[in-house]
Structure 1
Amino acid sequence: MKFCSAAEAAELIPDGATVMVDGSGGGVNEPTAILAAIEARFLDQGAPRNLSVYHVSGMGSGNGDGIDRFAHPGMTTRVIGGHWAWSRRMQEMAADNLIQAYCLPQGTLSHLLREAAGHRPGVISRVGINTFVDPRISGGRLNAAALDPVNEIITLAGQEWIFTPVVPIDVAIIRGTTADEHGNITMEGEGLLAEILSAAQAAKNNGGIVIAQVRDQVPFGQITPQSVQVPGVLIDAVVVDPTQRLSHATGEDPYLEGRERLENITIDPMALGVRKVIARRAAAELHSGDVVNLGFGMPDGVAAVLAEEGQSEDVVFTVEQGHVGGVPAGGTDFGLARNAESSINAGAQFDWYDGGGIDTAVLSFAEVDAAGNVNVSRFGRRAPGIGGFVNISQGTHRVVFVGTFIAKGDYELDGTGTIGLPPTGKPKFVNKVEQISFSGINAVETGQEVYFVSERAVFKLGPEGPVLIEIAPGIDLEKDVLSQMGFTPAIAPDLRVMDPALFRTEPMNLALPAQDPQLVKAQA
């Protein structure tokens, strides 16, 4: 093991290597200095070339950093990633078929590293069945250049499973906070543990190398064994970057790092708008005692609604990156949490998620179709991917999808209990989604409880597709809802009007109902 500069570390990467980059979106846990040095070396020397890039989470900020450091013709030939939204240049390369591009569930990619470390053949899971991850549909391919299969269907114990073979890792690039002289790595200044240990083990047990970036170097003996997250025996090179930030948006934050706790976490109430209306209606589907996951974007408004209504302590928030309890961070710090009760590695979190550990998930939708399928991952040339969406939406007992009924448009809310709608817009409820990120067929077969919540209509998934169960007060069913859909939904015989309190300025006096005893019994 040696301490070296980022430029010297970049020289260690050979042509044709499979490079695993650990971290999360928004610059969280991103080994920024090393990635910048690798890009600089390629631009100067034309090496390393023909890389395969493997990343579990989205990485970068959309400004040419993160995985986009590898987005140069000749530098990269294949990418297997869980989330692509932060990698705009790499998305363009995929759209132009300049690379082989694949997107697999975040949990599957996380678990693959453990399997690779243990020299096991791969991951066997039902996560992704009947979605675009399913090899009978797209097999996770994002473009025509992605000819090689990365998974297959197998039958085991009388049931169909997706088998995803391990990807041998030649180079793992990871990030911690402190390294001692033997290369032992701690993460006391990071916001999450990610896959740092399994990534290092996967590379080392494949005969590869591990390059770590840290903020601080200390003498051997100053780090307690219990605080070591990656043993020095796994590390080949350490780059010390004293300017290392918690994320692109945040330099340091002891509360997001988990080193300190806030006595009272204040979440400012949302201004009355369409996002608040939707978040309020989604929050009404939660139950007291629920273990909850909130997706990126519009779903994080649910936390603000619960805080305003005094209900935050009635649920337990979790984040796929490994946090349990506390309050999830929003925006580009998504994946972090304040006052988390525990922070475990992402692979262990996905074990819990895949096994049904979440009671209710609130996730975004971009398209919903007549079968109850949801698309969040593909829109023409733009392919943001799925991240943990498939694991979460398929593993939870109840899922509430949220979004505006149409794309764009101006809404009028005067706080009196009604809503003014834009006259028209691009439909989000379509006959057939462009890509299946969530399978309505699966949900019906497993008896999963599924809702689709918008500002003007609420649907519940039935055996034949979405069933309209509520409409906003004062709107016209035909003009404002049915005529702006790509399919004709079933309408509940007891079609209700959405609670006018959703559309008022003052708090709505939300009280979460008790959990369903049958659900609690089923989980026991």
Structure 2
Amino acid sequence: MEELRMMRKILKSEEAVEKISDNSVVAISGFNLLVAPEYLILKLYERYKQTGHPKGLFLEVNPIPTAPGRVLDKIATELYNDPDQEFLSGILVTYPGWSPTLQKMIQENRIEGYTWSIGTASWFFREVARGLPGVLTRVGLGTFLDPREDGGYLNELAKKRKRCKIEVVNIQGREYLLYQAPKPTVALIRGTTADELGNITTEKEGSFTEILNLAQASKAEPNKGIVIAQVERIARYPSLNPQDIKVPGPLVDYVVVAPPEFHMQSANIHYDPRVSGELIPPITSNPALKSPLNTRKVIARRVLLEMINLVKKLGKPILVNLGIGIPTEVAEIATEEGLQEYVLTTVESGPFGGIALKGPDFGASIGPFAIISQPDQFANYEGGVIDAASLGFMEVDEKGNVNPSLLPGRLPGPGGFPVISYGSPRMFFAGHFTAGEKKLEIRNGKLKIVKDGEIEKFVKNVYKIVYNAALGLEKGQEVIYITERAVFRLTEKGLVLEEYAPGIDVDKDILDRMQFQPKISRKLDEMDERLFKKGLMGLKEDIKTI
């Protein structure tokens, strides 16, 4: 009888998705395609197309289980072209950037759209599993997430229905935000191996995000739900190592084995043992050792220089987070300089160390030395456990507020930016000084602006505040804004220009290209000349005394 009960957990995909009823709140794992149950999602939608059920689904995804042209993006494209679609009623999504069609559905009020930070959403599932009403945090105060601003609503339909909401709560005279959303009644998760009891391991995955918490949230009272897991293979019970199990079998109702083409490690990688940490590659095999000298490298080098100064100050290796865009290249430069043992990187989805991948593969790392859960990783960020972080920027205003990605008509979402920028004790924002088509050259150790970008990024007021500089100053953060031609520091009086690139006219190329006038440091100096020269900077020599 026990053997029969266990075997009933392993179902065909069609049988499993039949268990999902109309109007369910469905939490789905997936950092892009990392641990995304692609097969289950596609089969769920296939059943809807065949039967009209389940319909009215509300999705809770963190950040989003898709890549361009795959899974949710593919489904969203079909739904967008169906004016009478009833499959989706709404979505809580922390980064819809990989699905332009989903963004259009939200912008056109076709479905409810809500957004939070990745870290807040990660903690939400854990808190709901504990029976709490939501997540209590100071992340988002004074930003577009604050209910006195946009409140996380992405469209008018969301503002009207308020299925997810953020409230200001005062505790002992201090403001916090309470993030609330419906408790999931279904969890779709993914692992590598399941045994007959439903125990789930993740040995071939690049991350395991919050799959345990999604299962717990679904199973919690009231209204206990169901958990369906997608895996690559089935093992005999009890053959799995107990310490390898990420989701215990009693929390899993059904298991579905997916075909290999729907069980990718990341968007462009089917399986690479270096991503799952099963194999640590030699440092010399990394292509970053041949990275060319350009302005992106100059900016990444300047961030690394700041981090190495911190290593010297603290007298020990430092733990950092590097965001998407130019900051991801800091790890490559650190490897190039032989400093990877001094600057220990982390990625939001859970990896420590290695080289973070880019684009839709972001979330995975080549050769991490550890992988932890996503909520635990964000505890490192929000609590200031890390020593520093570098994130990109799209706009900076005269108060030092930062908008990394939000524009009218564009909904990429905040990602992990709000939590990381709030919690890190030191923030090194990195990006080009202007945007738009430009031609910047490095000649003889100097920066030459052949054609400057027409879009100013240092503006009077950012479109949406995602990093609140006043709150950062209140917390005592050290904040620096690094570009290819100028370096600014945040102070109580606003931004102070501290460095400029060799070959640059400060008035013409910096001050005249800003919508406000920064303070000028009394110690204004040229940026380190090594930033603009080929070959190694020799930073390892700088820390030999440690």
TM-score, L = length of structure 2: 0.90
Partner in structure 2 of residue 157 of structure 1: 172
| Offset of residue 98 of structure 1 | 1.4
1:411, 1:498 → 2: CA distance? 20
Partner of 1:394: 422
Q: Does 1:121 align with 2:128?
A: no
* Alpha-carbon distance between aligned partners in 1 of 2:376 and 2:432, rounded to the nearest angstrom: 34
1:284 aligned residue: 305
Quick one: which amino acid aligns to residue 230 of structure 2?
Answer: Q
Q: Does 1:483 align with 2:512?
A: yes
**Of 370, 391, 394, which aligns to 1:366?**
394
How far apart, CA to CA, are the structure 2 residues paired with 1:51 and 1:31? 17
- Does residue 258 in structure 1 map to residue 274 in structure 2? no
Q: What are the superposed Cα offsets for residues 270-310 of structure 1, whole Å, 9 maximum, x if unpaired?
A: 21111111111111110222211000121111111112222
Q: Which one is further off, 186-195 or 163-172?
A: 163-172
- Which of residues 309, 333, 336 in structure 1 aligns to 2:361? 333
Q: Sort the Cα spacing of 1:430 and 1:167 in 2 relative to 1 into closer, same or farther, 3 A.
A: same
SS of alignment partner, residue 217 of structure 1: strand
One-letter amino acid of the structure 2 residue matched with residue 4 of structure 1: L
Matches of 1:263 and 1:426 in 2, distance apart? 42
Gap runs ≥5 in structure 1:
515-524
Letter in 2 for 1:135: P
Question: 1:241 maps to which residue?
Answer: 258
Q: Decide whether the 8 Å contact of 1:323 with 1:336 is kept in 2.
A: yes
The alpha-carbon distance between structure 1 residues 130 and 89, as it changes in their structure 2 partners (threshold 3 A), is: same
Deviations 1:486-515 (A, max 9, x none): 22222212221122221222222225977x
Distance (Å, rounded) in 2 between the aligned partners of 1:511 and 1:3: 54
Q: Retained in 2: the 8 A contact 1:368–1:433? A: yes
1:13, distance to aligned residue in structure 2 (A): 1.9
Distance 1:511 1:218 in 2: 48
Range with bigger deviation, 62-71 or 492-501:
62-71
What do the CA deviations read for 1:176-204 (whole angstroms, capped 9, x no partner)?
A: 00111121111111111201111001111
**Matches of residues 7-26 of structure 1 in structure 2 within 5 Å?**
7-25=14-32
Pick one of 185, 191, 203 that aligns with 1:170.
Answer: 185
Q: Does the Cα contact within 8 Å between 1:292 and 1:318 map onto a contact in 2?
A: yes
Contact kept? 2:35, 2:265, Cα under 8 Å: yes
For 1:314, the equivalent position in structure 2 comes to 342
1:354 and 1:217 map into 2 onto residues whose CA distance is 37
Deviation at 1:48, TM superposition (A): 2.2
Partner of 1:518: none
1:197 partnered with 2:212: yes
Change (3 A) 1:269 1:442: farther
Match of 1:31 among 37, 47, 51: 37
Aligned 8 A contact 1:274 1:411 in 2: no
Rounded to whole Å, the distance in 1 between the matches of 2:68 and 2:235 is 34
Give 1 or 2: higher helix fraction. Answer: 2
Q: Deviations over 1:134-163 (max 9, x none)?
A: 112111112222211611111113311111
Structure 1 residue aligned with 2:475, among 440, 443, 446?
Answer: 446
Q: SS of the counterpart of 1:131?
A: coil
Could you tell me whether the CA contact under 8 Å between 1:270 and 1:301 is conserved in 2?
A: no
For residues 520 and 53 of structure 2, the distance between their equivalents in structure 1, rounded to whole angstroms, comes to 60
Contact 2:98 2:360 in 1 (8 A): no
Structure 1 Cα separation of the partners of residues 244 and 30 of structure 2: 19
8 A contact 1:78–1:99 mirrored in 2 = yes
Question: What is the percent sequence identity of the aligned residues?
Answer: 38
Q: Following TM superposition, by how much is the alpha carbon of 1:455 offset from its aligned partner in structure 2, in angstroms?
A: 1.0
Q: Partners of 2:71 and 2:55 in 1: how far apart?
A: 18
In the alignment, the residues of structure 2 paired with residue 74 and residue 141 of structure 1 have an alpha-carbon distance, to the nearest angstrom, of 21
Moved more, 101-110 or 337-346: 337-346
The separation in 2 between residues aligned to 1:152 and 1:423, in whole angstroms, is 43
Q: SS in structure 2 opposite 1:79? A: strand
Please, which runs of 5 or more residues in structure 2 have no aligned partner? 1-7, 80-84, 312-316
Quickly say closer, same or farther: Cα 1:174–1:67, change in 2 above 3 A. farther
Secondary structure, counterpart of 1:420 in structure 2: strand
Cα contact 1:376–1:385 (8 A) shared by 2: no
Q: Deviations over 1:77-112 (max 9, x none)?
A: 221111111122111111112122111111111111
Report the 3-state secondary structure (helix = DSSP H, G, I; strand = E; otherwise coil) of the residue aligned with 2:377.
helix
Counterpart Cα distance in 1 of 2:68 and 2:358: 17
1:136 maps to amino acid: R
Q: Deviations over 1:44-77 (max 9, x none)?
A: 3333222111012233112142366356243222
Contact 2:438 / 2:452 at 8 angstroms: preserved in 1?
no
Residue 348 of structure 1: aligned partner? 376
Q: Structure 1 residues 492, 34: CA separation in 2 closer, same or farther (over 3 Å shift)? A: same
Offset at residue 325 of structure 1 (A): 3.2
1:273 aligns to what?
294
> Which amino acid is 2:292 matched to?
A
- CA spacing shift, 1:68–1:50, aligned 2, 3 Å: farther
Q: 1:90 to 1:331 in 2, by over 3 A?
A: closer
Matched length: 514
Local SS of the residue matching 1:413: strand
Match of 2:534 in 1: 505
